[in-house]
Structure 1
């Protein structure tokens, strides 16, 4: 059985069981409001449980097809399908057994216990429903590992503030001293020029 056929079969049975469950199991508004008789709802309740149980058949066929060693199906996918089968069968048995017990039991006395069993069966059926589709996700191969990017070391030379400002601060006093020395002491070549202009008496 192919995947598409199994998924279509499983979805159709599950939807049909869900519709019957809503109208005749919980919350069964037509029966509680007195529109339908209690005996009339027993048959749809048993049918809903049977559909929940029969929804395990496509899961069984898919498990038998994919458990072949040459296919290399992951063990996780096979395990999920096995638990999905168990959940479908258990939900169907609980609903059918509780629906049959309603024939002899009164809802006024044990109704809360019966509805509790119905609610637990619905939760188990939902888990089995999603487990079947989750098993196909578990069959997918893991994504390829991403290549590791090697970060190149950044080669930046940072100058320290103390070393860059020290030559500037040291050159300032030297320039001031040279200007003061030049103003107070004229060059030595000025003396021969003065003597040449004056000349001997």
Structure 2
């Protein structure tokens, strides 16, 4: 895949396997997210990827600075301004994304998404009443790579409805269990009301 150019620099993401190598043995949960999570769930490539997303619980986000010691870390302050993330700085609740690269002369390699949690429960920032045990957030592929469960990843993607989101939904739909379909349908109805994926989940 060719590098992708953005106003904030070039993206050339590492692979899920490389992320798993960097995070081997850490003492906190993490999951490959985004389009790669869908591919790990369905067991095949689906489309090209601009970046690589990894989901972390906010309570664990300072650990990135230890895992990627020597890298550059940048926080995405809303509404879309990148700024250096200082060592030891606990990011505020309105910052959900962190971009990382080995140094200023290299492309961006991985983006971390921060999720809210309380005790052993994940809490959706789009609907605080939508919660799940952290232990049910993801699975592990045959190579030992943790990935975000497809129904949760599709819930994140449902707001945008970009062509790539529809492609990921179409790829994941056949592998969703009845329970996963029901959870996603309920989450979409609660958060969005009407949504074009709802009739497809019901078939």
Using the size of structure 2 for normalisation, the TM-score is 0.17
Using the size of structure 1 for normalisation, the TM-score is 0.18
- Please state which structure has a larger fraction of its residues in strand: 2
- Please state which structure has a larger fraction of its residues in helix: 1
